[in-house]
Amino acid sequence: METCFNHTEAAKAGTCKYCGKDYCSECLFLQGQLDSLMCKNCYKVYKTKYTSSIKRRYIYAFAGIAITIMLALLYITHDHSSLSLIGAAIGSCGVAINFIRIRQMKMALKTKPYISAEEKNL
């Protein structure tokens, strides 16, 4: 009988997509929008990586907002130069990209419990 990598007494329910090891249904869950099979160990690594990445993206996004506002104000109050306007446009695109990435990473961290085919038939 194939068994779980963590529990030698538990039968294998599936294979983690990320580390390729076999696990029981308790050690696995469905991750992200694609319902990828992921083990608890990989999730921990993944979560640490993404959490720091999300934080960094938030800093970029808010810095981008500040720059965009500054350039827009500069355009309105002072120079009326197209350079400030272009800068503000680029800044707002950067902000949007960072928020899209944050959303994607948050979706990727969503999990659902995994129920193997055998368990469904019980």
Binding stretches for Zn ion (CB under 5 A):
4, 6-7, 10, 16, 18-19, 24, 27, 39, 42
Q: Are 94 and 86 in contact (CB under 8 A)?
A: no
Q: Closer CB to Zn ion, residue 16 or residue 61?
A: 16
Q: Closer CB to Zn ion, residue 55 or residue 110?
A: 110
CA 16/CA 2 separation, integer angstroms: 14
Q: Between β-strands 22-23 and 111-113, what pairing exists: parallel, antiparallel or unpaired?
A: unpaired
Q: Closer CB to Zn ion, residue 75 or residue 114?
A: 114
Quote the least distance from Cβ 107 to Zn ion, whole Å. Answer: 19
Quote the least distance from Cβ 28 to Zn ion, whole Å. Answer: 8
For the chain, give the longest Cα–Cα distance: 76
Q: Are 5 and 79 in contact (CB under 8 A)?
A: no
Quote the least distance from Cβ 55 to Zn ion, whole Å. Answer: 24
